[in-house]
A and B are shown apart, each in its own frame.
Chain A
Amino acid sequence: MLILTCPYCGVACDETELSAGGEAHLTRHGPGSSDGEFEDYLFMRENPRGVHFERWRHVYGCGKWFHAARSTATLEVFGTYSAQVLIPPDDIRAAVSAKVPGWQWRDLT
């Protein structure tokens, strides 16, 4: 059972209390973008076997969206953080780098 701590209300939530929102930190493309960029935004996904940054929503709680860093290979949770950031904060990056040696950071900006 996946347990994530909501960074807003501080509750350690069971996954039945949450709703998964898919990959985080996507570059949003809108009007004026090329077909390729729009395809990337809508459909292409990293889908890594390892560290994954995700959006989650605390549906049966405070109702707020937040971010989580999690491993898809071990189900380990590295941490959760605010939805108001475009890239993972330093403490999350440090936690991931410490637990997954050799993890290559891709450009998330």
Chain B
Amino acid sequence: MSRYSVFAVAREAFRDHQGWTRAWSSPEPKRKYDVIIIGAGGHGLATAYYLGKNHGIRNVAILEKGWLGGGNTGRNTTIIRSNYLQDPSAAIYEKARSLYEDLSQDLNYNVMFSPRGVMMLAQTEHEIRGYKRTAHANALQGVKTEYIGPERVKQLCPIMEIRGPRYPVLGALWQSRGGTARHDAVAWGYARKCSEMGMDVIQQCEVTGVRSEGGKVVGVSTSRGDIDCDKLGVVVAGHSGHLADMAGFRLPIESVALQALVSEPIKPCMDVVVMANTVHGYMSQSDKGEMVIGGGTDGYNNYTQRGSFHHIEETVRALVETFPMISRLKMLRKWGGIVDVTGDRSPILSKTPLENCFINCGWGTGGFKAIPGSGWGMAELMATGHSPLTESFGLERFKEGRFIDESVAAGVAH
């Protein structure tokens, strides 16, 4: 596979762009692999990539039911931040954020990481105290954030109405190195590198069963035949419960719909990401000029990738108060993704009751930002059986009562 560079662009310009090759191959599945990863979304592909890069395991297949990055990886609002309260969360999200900084160079693929800054608005007295506490916790964790006052908020984001009647902006938690990235490019970049390392990215291959012998995983049954493996990684987000059922264990997870929407493109007016958690809405402007808006999840279990209209209405109504200038914007489209939510709103990266079967799920509403860190930790866990990044995120924490409680702490719009 040819390397992408300014010289490659110049070379191809002189020969009518005939020399570009496919970014990744579409091979037929082999009989057996050392490792099979189920799910070619960001987390699955990142796990495979770091298995190859950090641990030298390259006889790997990544199986995908639909198409590459067609699940939540292509359905999120692309926000990247690491301002979490609890230490294990801050560690894995900060690892991810720092990997994002030079991911384009590492993958030789432009993921368009834009560290434009993320602010989480404090609109109640309680939130002020909460975010000040998070800022102090982040200082101890080595994550650079600061608590800023309303004047600074207005300076960073002039289109905001900070003296709204119901929800005035009283301050914000500001992470200047947070931002956004191009979500599809993250999946495509990882897939290209995995393919380059000799891994097989197999799309349109649905796993229909997990085969085991004596409590140990030996392979999977798929719509394209049986495939054997020594180790199995299940990285399928909203459909984790379905796969766990095949593998014979239960998960503390419920799948719900989370929606997002984008407006028509307008001229650049906002160069930061703003999250308003009291009113359940967040917004950023894409490079194309669209305002990208996300809200809260529906309250009931759902696998249909479409959510309730009244949630969209609530989100927009709340944002219009804080950003009066968007009241006349037309919305282009909305969509829903199925997110896997755990009891403590923290992910599960863990061994399972089935030996040599590992699971990475439960990222809920905030998985995109974690992709590189999650892949890094999951690969280490699968290759060596232990990873400092994932050790607190085991399945057994629910039985032992060692929760990593981010449901209130992270202040995210669940």
**Partner among A2, A23, A43, A75 whose Cβ is within 8 Å of the Cβ of B398:** A43
- A1 interface residue per 8 A CB criterion: yes
A75 to B257, alpha carbons, bound, how many Å? 12
- Do B304 and A22 touch across chains, with their CB atoms under 8 A apart? no
Inter-chain contacts of A47 with B (CB < 8 A): 241, 251, 253-255, 301
In the assembled complex, the Cα of A46 lies from the Cα of B303 at a distance in Å of 13
> How close is B280's CB to chain A, nearest CB, in angstroms?
15
Docked Cα-Cα span, A101 to B298, in Å, equals 28
Cβ proximity bits A41-69 to B, threshold 8 Å, 1 near / 0 not: 01111111100101000000000000000
Q: How large is the interface on A (under 10, 10 to 19, 20 to 34, 35 or more residues)?
A: 20 to 34
Nearest CB on B from A43, distance (A): 4
User: What residue of chain B has the Cβ atom nearest to residue A75's Cβ?
Assistant: B304
Indicate if the CB atoms of B343 and A72 lie closer than 8 Å: no
Cα distance, A39 to B242, chains bound together (Å)? 20
A27 within 8 A of B: no
Q: Does A36 count as interface, using CB distance less than 8 angstroms?
A: yes
Q: Is the CB of A52 within 8 A of B398?
A: no
Query: A49 touches which one: B303, B310, B342 (CB < 8 A)?
Result: B303
Cβ contact within 8 Å between A1 and B343:
no
Residues of A within 8 A of B255 (CB): 47, 49, 72
B300 in contact with A16 (CB, 8 Å) = no
Are A45's CB and B254's CB within 8 A?
A: yes
With contacts A2-B300, A20-B300, A36-B399 taken as known, whether A44 is within 8 angstroms of B308 at the C-beta atoms is no
B242 touches A44 (CB 8 A): no
Bound CA–CA A48/B250 (angstroms): 11
Contacting pair B301 A54 (CB below 8 A): yes
9 other A-B residue contacts (CB within 8 Å) besides A46-B241, A47-B255, A72-B302? A2-B300, A20-B298, A35-B400, A42-B343, A43-B252, A45-B241, A45-B251, A52-B301, A73-B304
Chain B residues at the A interface, C-beta cutoff of 8 Å: 239, 241-242, 250-255, 298-304, 308-310, 342-343, 398-400
Q: List 30 A-B contacts (CB under 8 A).
A: A1-B309, A1-B310, A2-B300, A15-B300, A20-B298, A20-B300, A36-B399, A39-B399, A40-B250, A42-B398, A43-B252, A43-B342, A43-B343, A43-B398, A44-B251, A44-B398, A45-B250, A45-B253, A45-B254, A47-B253, A48-B241, A49-B239, A49-B255, A49-B303, A72-B255, A72-B301, A72-B302, A72-B303, A73-B304, A75-B304
